[in-house]
Structure 1
Amino acid sequence: MTNSIADTTKTDLFLMIGSNPDTSHPTIGLRVHQAVDRGAKLIIVDPRKTKLAERADLWLRILPGTDVAFLNGLMHIILEEDLWDKKFVEERTEDFDELKQLVKKYNPDYVSGITGLAVDDLFQCARMFAGPGRHAIFHGMGITHYTTGTDRVKSIANLSMLCGKVGVEGGGCNPLRGQNNVQGACDMGALFNTLPGYGGLSNEELFNQYEKLWKVKLPRRPGKPATEVWENIFKGEIRALYVFGEDPAIADANIAHVQEALREVDFLVVQDIFLTDTAKEADVVFPAACFAEKEGTFTCTERRVQRVRKAVDPPGDAKPDWQIFCELSKKMGYDMGYKSAEEIFEEVRQLMPMYAGITYQRLDKVGLQWPVPTLDHPGTTVLHTEQFTRGLGLFVPEGYLPPQEPADTEYPMLFTTGREYARYNFSSMTGKTPEIDVIAPECLAEVNPVDAERMGVRQGSWIRISSRRGSVEIKVTITDRSQEGTIFSTYNYVETPVNYLTLDALDRLSRTPEYKLCAVKVEVLEY
């Protein structure tokens, strides 16, 4: 996030697109509700009728997968009506002419035809967002989990810069990350093409720092994106796999393909707190400590580094992840020599300028938002207040590309997924709590009443949903929350593995799969 969660108290208008924080990020969802209670305006762009959509000043029930056309259409109107922030654009950005040129064709009638939105609603949305005030864009996996996910993120940044809504309290571009330490994992270099701190693989000076400290020669080549591992196993380019804190046998797109790869790989090591579906395929399983059984830090969606404190000892032979890595590394001939999580964090501070001013002692009082360059720096609540990281903000316009797998005569419906608020990911942890089963007992397929009548199903009917990759049997709930022509389901139930259906086509840059949309057909099993 460029801004802070607490900033919601200063936001005059929220543009929420591709996210339902009530279920995905409930504490943030609560703050948005509180902001609306005090008078903040709310625009929701979502195919589903969520609770926030019901409260919105403007709910845009967009056709799934058409966000880039929608965002370009808003910028077309803002430019045509001379609503853009000329001072901000002229002083703080570049390549504005390229943006103007690309959005020319995205006139309201053209965009309405793509998105299914009324022309009047497009004008209202553009005027509301470009108007005076502190206006923030929030987005989630409904933006990024497409083959055009990076195009969507760029388009959001383009819109925010065009209207001068970046670098101010209560504004900014605010991606809501999927888990508590996604931001921290990326910061630490858990990406296939960067070093920790987002250093490039061509940065020899940075490599020299690591090699001097670690006394090893490091490879310069990029790694394999996690989503490309499976195909590389079949090609024979990956023969051993080490998985920790992840259950790709259930969590990845097109899991039939993943499960076949897990059986194919020569040697599989899994490190986890429970025997997950992936761990069941492993040659070796390392029992790991859970969050309450270890020390450390995590960095959440607002860039805030916070302490994790050990409350109880791990059971049996379970150990913290860092300790398992160290012991294995020593067995393999390289002694890392770390004695504690804090010692590792001190090395992080040494190598990453944005963490340099953060210590365990400072974190004992309150979490700090990076960058924190010095020990007396208070942390950075708002990014880009005076300039962007690269100096000038770069407009990167992208044209609209349709979803990879539209509905057709063979697979006439669309399928999309989201979160169940009471369950975490695929229930490997929360699925062991009986009380949660009372709150959220089963996975349901949301079917619009029009579609239900056409298919001949009623409340509680069982159906088989099939895509080009697999099938799943699921119970129906009939509701107008889902858009006509689209079936929605949560993905949190291992008993109903909906990722047999999902599409593993990848974004050309991030290599993220198109989880959020695929074509399906429906067979009624029990009326």
Structure 2
Amino acid sequence: MTNSIAEVEKANCILVIGSNTTENHPIIGQKIKAAVRNHGAKLIVADPRAIELTEYAHIWLRQKPGTDLALINGLLHVIVEEKLYDEEFIRTRTEGFDEVKKVVAKYTPEYVEEITGVPAEDIRRAARLYAQGPRSSIYYAMGITQHVTGTYNVMALANLAMACGHIGKEGTGVNPLRGQNNVQGACDMGGLPNVYPGYQRVDDDEVRKKFEEAWGVELPSKPGLTLVEMLKAAGEGKVRGLYIVGENPVLTDPDSKHVEEALQKLDFLVVQDIFLTETARYADVILPAAGFAEKEGTFTNTERRVQKLERALDPPGTARPDWQIIQDVARGMGYPMHYRTPQEIMEEIARLTPSYAGISYDRLGDIGLQWPCPDKNHPGTRFLHKDKFARGLGKFHAVEYQPAAVVPDEEYSIVLTTGRIHFHYHATISRRAKGLEEVCPEPYVEISPADAVRMEIRDGQKVKLISRFGEVEVKAKITPRVAPGVVFLSFHFAEAPVNRLVGPALDPVAKIPEYKAGAVKVVKA
């Protein structure tokens, strides 16, 4: 997030797009509702489904799944056409706006209505509301990123914020809501194939030399593979061994059938996890890890806040903290790793990672620190880009809408979109909670009343969803939450693994699968 969670209630206007916030990020969802109820904030919600926040919204933009980029460009078209943009901010803080103006010129509200299904007048109203702020913020999640145009969707949101000057100030910004508790921290620590900790690029010679000297090894100069690319390479016999830590790709990755085939082709698979997951059943070796309450260390949350974690329980059986397991594996493979405590690891992070340089255990206290925190006297950073962007000038990107990789046709005529539901988080974790399992023990597919009548499907009846890639059987839930021609199925349930229906198409830049827009046919089971 460019801004902080506490700043949600300081915004005059909030745009939520691609995020079912109250169900997936309930604390932030509560703050958005409080901003509307208690502080008079205007709320714009862009979502294909009727979520709780649509009940609080001043404007609900119900776009068709996979059309977000056209919608965002349409909003910017209105802002340009009506000269609602921040001329001084654009002139002094950014570059590339003229190219964006040329691209969005064709995205008139009427043209965008044809693509998205959102009424043209609603697009105009939303654009004016967001532009005039004066403090407007954007909140998005995987409903924006999990498309073949996911990277461009994010760039378009950045265009929108910069055009109106709604960044670098309190209560504004472009704020991605992270999907799990330490996703931000994992990325910060180099859990990506193209960067070292602190987003320092592996193809930067000076950066690579710094880490080579610190770690006493020679490091590769080319980026590695993403998770989806690794599994594809395993299926082709190019990757022969995998070490999977805290991930369950059999359930969560697209085209699940091919994931299972790829794991079976490996010469050797190690899975390190706290449960015997669907993926762990394919492992040659399982290394039992400690859960969050059974270890010490830090988590970095969605607002870049590094927080100290104290151990409350002893790990069961032979389970141990991940860092200890990884260290022993490294030693067994001939690399002398000798950390004694997580605090020593944190000290190394501070030495090698500029944005964490001022962070240490003795400074974290009860509330932690937000990076960037460049030195021991720095208080941490509540919001980013106050005086300038990291690259100097903020760069506009001219991006064009393109349809989803898989679109409905005569045979597969229904749009499939996926996500979480309120009572479960990830099945690997939450379905082991007895109370949650009692409330929501089985999967269901949401089908609109109009489609149910047309297909002669009753509420609670078993149906089959069939795509070009696979099929699943699941109970139907008839609800107006989805529009006619759209069905929604969560990814929590191994007995109805929705990712069997999802194809292999990826965002060409970030390599993220297209989970949010597919095509299926629905038949009675």
Give the 3-state SS of the residue equivalent to 1:280 in structure 2: helix
- Conserved? CA contact 1:3–1:302, under 8 Å: yes
Look up the equivalent residue of 1:167 and give its one-letter code.
G
TM-score by length of 2: 0.98
Task: Write out per-residue CA displacement over residues 397-421 of structure 1, whole angstroms, 9 at most, x where no aligned residue.
Answer: 1000011111101101011111122
Look up the equivalent residue of 2:478 and give its one-letter code.
I
2:278 corresponds to: 277
1:146 corresponds to: 147
1:361 corresponds to: 362
2:6 corresponds to: 6
Look up the equivalent residue of 2:487 and give its one-letter code.
I
Look up the equivalent residue of 1:223 and give its one-letter code.
G
- Conserved? CA contact 1:329–1:335, under 8 Å: yes
Report deviation, 1:439.
2.2
CA distance in 2, matches of 1:34, 1:503: 39
The more displaced of 303-312 and 381-390 is 303-312
Q: What does residue range 107-506 of structure 1 map to in structure 2 within 5 Å?
A: 107-425=108-426, 427-506=427-506
Report deviation, 1:245.
0.2
Report deviation, 1:424.
2.0
Look up the equivalent residue of 1:365 and give its one-letter code.
D
Task: Write out per-residue CA displacement over residues 281-303 of structure 1, whole angstroms, 9 at most, x where no aligned residue.
Answer: 10001010110110011111111
- Conserved? CA contact 1:418–1:491, under 8 Å: yes
- Conserved? CA contact 1:95–1:394, under 8 Å: yes
1:507 corresponds to: 507
Look up the equivalent residue of 1:483 and give its one-letter code.
A
Look up the equivalent residue of 1:117 and give its one-letter code.
V
- Conserved? CA contact 2:356–2:372, under 8 Å: yes
Look up the equivalent residue of 1:362 and give its one-letter code.
R
Give the 3-state SS of the residue equivalent to 2:428 in structure 1: coil
Give the 3-state SS of the residue equivalent to 1:432 in structure 2: coil
Look up the equivalent residue of 2:70 and give its one-letter code.
A
- Conserved? CA contact 2:237–2:265, under 8 Å: no
Give the 3-state SS of the residue equivalent to 1:197 in structure 2: coil
- Conserved? CA contact 1:156–1:173, under 8 Å: yes
Task: Write out per-residue CA displacement over residues 117-170 of structure 1, whole angstroms, 9 at most, x where no aligned residue.
Answer: 111111101111111411001001000000100000000000000001001111
Report deviation, 1:267.
0.6
Task: Write out per-residue CA displacement over residues 173-217 of structure 1, whole angstroms, 9 at most, x where no aligned residue.
Answer: 000111111111111111111121111223222112111111111
- Conserved? CA contact 1:19–1:139, under 8 Å: yes
- Conserved? CA contact 1:9–1:170, under 8 Å: yes
- Conserved? CA contact 1:47–1:482, under 8 Å: yes
- Conserved? CA contact 2:50–2:481, under 8 Å: yes
- Conserved? CA contact 1:193–1:201, under 8 Å: yes
The more displaced of 491-500 and 296-305 is 491-500
Question: Could you list the runs of 5+ residues in structure 1 that have no partner in the other structure?
Answer: none
CA distance in 1, matches of 2:395, 2:429: 42
Task: Write out per-residue CA displacement over residues 418-447 of structure 1, whole angstroms, 9 at most, x where no aligned residue.
Answer: 11222221x222212211112222211110
Question: Could you list the runs of 5+ residues in structure 2 that have no partner in the other structure?
Answer: none
Look up the equivalent residue of 2:189 and give its one-letter code.
M
- Conserved? CA contact 1:502–1:516, under 8 Å: no
Look up the equivalent residue of 1:519 and give its one-letter code.
A
Look up the equivalent residue of 2:91 and give its one-letter code.
E
Q: What does residue range 33-72 of structure 1 map to in structure 2 within 5 Å?
A: 33-38=33-38, 39-72=40-73
Task: Write out per-residue CA displacement over residues 486-526 of structure 1, whole angstroms, 9 at most, x where no aligned residue.
Answer: 0012211222211111222100110000011111011112x
CA distance in 2, matches of 1:340, 1:191: 24
CA distance in 2, matches of 1:236, 1:407: 33
- Conserved? CA contact 2:12–2:133, under 8 Å: no
- Conserved? CA contact 2:193–2:225, under 8 Å: yes
Q: What does residue range 9-28 of structure 1 map to in structure 2 within 5 Å?
A: 9-28=9-28
Look up the equivalent residue of 2:82 and give its one-letter code.
E
The percentage of counterpart residues that share the same residue type is 49
TM-score by length of 1: 0.98
Q: Could you list the structure 1 runs, at least 4 aligned residues long, displaced by more than 6 angstroms after superposition.
A: none
CA distance in 2, matches of 1:154, 1:53: 25
Report deviation, 1:62.
0.7
CA RMSD across the alignment: 0.9
Give the 3-state SS of the residue equivalent to 1:268 in structure 2: strand
Report deviation, 1:112.
1.1
CA distance in 2, matches of 1:461, 1:286: 41
Give the 3-state SS of the residue equivalent to 1:428 in structure 2: helix
CA distance in 2, matches of 1:369, 1:295: 19
Give the 3-state SS of the residue equivalent to 1:77 in structure 2: helix
